[in-house]
Structure 1
Amino acid sequence: MRRHITDVWPVYVPGARCEARTSKEKPLQAPDWQAAARHPWDTTLSGLRADALDCLQTTVALVADHAHGPGTHLALGCRWRFPEADANGAARIQMPVQDRFAEAMRLLGLRAERIEASDGPAVRDQLAGGQPLYVIADAFLLPWLPYAGHAHMSHSFLIEPFGERFLVVDAYHNDTQWGPARPGAWTLSPTAVDQVIAGDVTTMDVRPATGPLWLDRSKVLADNATLARAAKPATDAYTERLRERLAEPGVIDDVVLDIWLLSRERSLHAAWLADHPAARQVSARAEAWQRLSTQSYLVARRMRRGGRPNPVLIDDLARLLHEDMALAIELAEPSTVDDAVDAVVLAELCATLGLDEAVVRATDTLRSLPGFDSFRLVDAIDRIEQRLDTALPDDLAVDDLRDVAGLCRLFRSAKHQAKAVSTG
């Protein structure tokens, strides 16, 4: 019997706080499970931005890219999420998992049906038809994960028949206290399948529907800006509540999870906007969230060892959220600012080198321009900085000093950053 995914949903939070326990299960031994050297999903697996996906997204991303082509999964990063009020009026980061999954299905052009197969033998029977299954099982029992034998938490993967064995494909990428989890594929014997798919498991048939949703990027950015403009009250309520309750049991773990999820979402958003004029600026925001995620781990560890709560973590969280709001609003604005920046860069470069604009536009690299050298580049940058009243950052990317387009990107990013700081 199959049911639509909205009918039944397990209690499941990607990357959720986990509790270590002892297990009576006998550990699986080779050759019950072993790495798969070659498999049909290899190319798709290697093309995922797995480090920017959470445990729910990894498997649907794998199915979407396999069905619709490389990069399809990046649509999962189109939305920039901010704190929202839940049904009880409390501000929170994490949206209901059922809603999150439904959004992923819509964005990626997939459909999902729940399958009544709650143990290994039932799953093996379902796999006899040849269709891969999306499985959510206990990470404690999954020998390819560092969580195996250490912690109980829900985890998703794909499984399909593979000769006389079964192929598991898991795109999860994360670092844990027990070691790294990295995307890969493994073959399991029937005995191994029965052991890893045990207890509270969920199985689904996830497959292509009509195709991935075509996204109008300008409209998506405008919708993000609308969310950002409305997000300040919920964001302030959210961070204030965390400041007041940080010393309470379990709150720091919720903070760590929220920051981890936001860090992944910001990284995926940067990948989705990789060809946008403000791509470097968005990537810088993602890097800031990654640093905050590391900071949150340190704070949590010290608190578990008896240390006092560190409100600086919440201050930094609030600051990043407000900076993201400013940037989300700015990304939706017309590109007149970027066009003006490009015009200044081009004009001052021409003036410094004494060249016509047509010559500069027709040249692939700066070094190919007549009369160009490092000193002339420094002179041009000085002139542009004065005209724009904006200084470039000290950590310049060498690649952005290769051509006119790269130089424009640097100054756009610096101008946007200066504006975000001034409006923050």
Structure 2
Amino acid sequence: MTAPAVPQTAPPADLRAELLDCLQVNLAWLARTEYGVSPLVLGARLEFTPRDDGPGRLPTVEAATGTHVERTAAALGLSLTDRHTLPPRTGTLPAGPGTAYVIADAYHLPWVPYHGHAHMDHSFLFCRDSSGLAVVRDGYHNDTPYGPARPGAWTLTEGELAEALPDGARVYRVTRAGVPQDGIEVVPATAAAVESYVHAYREHPDREEALARLTLETWLLARARRLHAARRAAGGTAPAVEEHLTAWGKLAEQTFLAHRRVQRGRPEPAGPLERLAELLQADARVFTAPSPAWEAAPVTAGAGTATAGSPDTDTLRTAVAEEAAAVLRVPAAELLAGRALTEIPGFGSFRMVDIVERIEERLDIEFDAADLVPENLHDLDGLRRITARAHRETP
């Protein structure tokens, strides 16, 4: 698999791939380059409409693949035509003019970090260059537990293409069909819908399963709200909206951390579900208010903070800095000198959890679940404070 030497394989500068999911992004790439449609039209409507995924299954805001693709195409003013299902083990994609939109299993796609790790529907664009070689383009942009996904284009041999599609694929041709979605709308989440959704996750007996799913849910919800904010932002983003988006991002981090803790047999941190309900109910107020209407409630670090200058402060601070530096691959001296963790490329929820686990292992401590909130985990001194507290309380 190599980078292709064909024109127009770079994504447009205004694709805003970081705001789009793996099915939206490549339809948006086609719409932008071939028809001049802004990808931000996909954020015009914000709503909370979880669906029942069947008996015993948790509700989800993730639409079924077919429904999601159809809605995305319609919002972009596109039509999906000439639909073709590639049978398993066929080994190649059908010839045809122009570019095809393809959905296959990410587990087998060698250019995405999910390759060999996780099964899920994933899209890409497919065409052949002037010499007949297979060219795939994928605009997906995300940080995953298996590494970063970034937009790009690759040339595949026929053998590599066959290996990438052992389970077949869904192939579509895309044409212009009408006018892209216009206007901006927020459909307020009803109290009943929020309570039913949160209750299902709170009462699910398998906590690891519930938190694994909730991690994806909060990521999808946070991304949808960033996309909606970008669609509205022609006149600038209000401070209350910025704070609201930050709170959604912190919730996604906190939920992922809770999932990892339960995976390791540790107590489940409290708070994510209550915070989820608050943020869902605040969406309509924040996004439709003519002036700042809501601020994230502060989360305190709690009592018992180590005092600067106490005998163990410097030792603990150095240990915390060394473990954070090892995860982020920067010199510990930079962190000790005051460089913020959030300024370091690659810092995010996955690295944050790695740092927490390394500190616990090195110092043979266990953080209190109540301390594991993003407000305590985004800077060195916050980590040092909760480390000192856990160090004192560990038998």
TM-score range, shorter-chain basis? 0.5 to 0.7
1:154 is aligned to 2:121: yes
Shift of 1:298: 1.0
Distance apart, 1:63 and its partner CA: 1.2
Q: Please give the alpha-carbon distance, in whole angstroms, between the structure 1 residues aligned to 2:42 and 2:166.
A: 30
CA distance in 2, matches of 1:286, 1:194: 41
SS at match of 1:273: helix
CA 1:277–1:141 in 2, change beyond 3 Å: closer, same or farther? closer
Which residue in the other structure is 2:277 paired with? 318
* Correspondence for 1:82: 48
Residues 375-410 of structure 1 show CA distances to partners (whole Å, capped at 9, x for unaligned) of xxxxxxxxxxxxxxxxxxxxxxxxxxxxxxxxxxxx
Task: Give the C-alpha shift of residue 241 in structure 1.
Answer: 2.3
Q: CA deviation at 1:154?
A: 2.1
Query: Is 1:69 aligned with 2:36?
Result: yes
Q: Deviations over 1:255-305 (max 9, x none)?
A: 111101011101111111111455553343222212211211111111111
TM-score in terms of structure 1 length = 0.62
Identity %: 33
SS in 1 for 2:261: helix
Residue type of the partner of 2:24? Q
1:193 aligns with 2:193: no
Match of 1:301 among 260, 276, 289: 260
Q: Distance in 2 between matches of 1:292 and 1:38?
A: 42
The aligned counterpart of 1:53 is 20
**Structure 2 counterparts to residues 366-405 of structure 1, below 5 A:** none
Are 2:100 and 2:171, in contact at CA under 8 Å, matched by a contact in 1? yes
> Does 1:208 pair with 2:167?
no
Say if 1:160 and 1:166, in contact at 8 Å, map to a contact too. yes
User: Who is 1:115 aligned against?
Assistant: 84
Q: CA deviation at 1:88?
A: 7.5
Matching residue's letter, 2:195: D
Q: Please state if 1:173 is matched with 2:141.
A: yes
Does the 8 Å CA contact 1:119/1:194 hold for their aligned counterparts? no
Q: Is the 8 A contact 2:9 2:152 kept in 1?
A: no
Matches within 5 A, 1:403-414: none
* Cα distance, 1:196 vs structure 2: 0.9
Assess, with a 3 A threshold, how the Cα gap between structure 1 residues 276 and 96 changes in structure 2: closer, same or farther: farther
- Aligned residues of 2:99 and 2:173 also touching (Cα < 8 A): yes
For residue 35 of structure 1, give the secondary structure of its aligned residue in structure 2: coil
CA contact (8 A) 2:11 2:151 kept: no
Question: Is contact 2:201–2:210 with CA below 8 Å preserved after alignment?
Answer: yes
Give CA deviations for 1:357-378 in whole Å, capped at 9, x if unaligned. Answer: xxxxxxxxxxxxxxxxxxxxxx
**Secondary structure of 1:34 counterpart:** coil
CA change 1:278–1:140 in 2 (3 A) is closer
Aligned-partner Cα distance in 2 for 1:326–1:184? 38
**2:239 is equivalent to residue 288 of structure 1:** no
8 Å Cα contact 1:83-1:238 kept in structure 2: no
Max Rg structure: 1
Partners of 2:239 and 2:152 in 1: CA distance: 30
Size of the aligned set, in residue pairs, is 288
Which of 182, 204, 213 in structure 1 is aligned with 2:150?
182
- Deviation readout 1:104-124 (Å, 9 max, x if unpaired): 121101111321333575744
The answer to whether the Cα contact below 8 Å between 1:303 and 1:309 also exists between their aligned partners in 2 is yes
Other-structure match for 1:96: 64
* Equivalent position of 1:398 in the other structure: none
Q: What 5-or-longer segments of structure 1 have no aligned partner?
A: 1-32, 339-424
Query: Residue 157 and residue 61 in structure 1: after superposition, are their counterparts in 2 closer, same or farther (change >3 A)?
Result: same
Given the alignment of the two structures, is residue 36 of structure 1 paired with residue 26 of structure 2, yes or no? no
What is the TM-score with the length of structure 2 in the denominator? 0.66
In structure 2, what residue type is equivalent to 1:118? P
- RMSD between superposed Cα atoms in Å: 2.6
Matched, 1:270 2:229: yes
| 1:56 CA displacement | 1.1
Hey, what's the Cα distance between the residues in 2 that align with 1:137 and 1:209? Answer: 24
Matches of 2:46 and 2:226, distance apart in 1: 10
The residue identity in structure 1 corresponding to 2:2 is Q
> What amino acid does structure 1 have at the position aligned with 2:42?
L
CA distance in 1, matches of 2:102, 2:247: 33
Q: Unaligned stretches of 5+ in structure 2?
A: 293-395
Secondary structure in 1 matching 2:234: coil
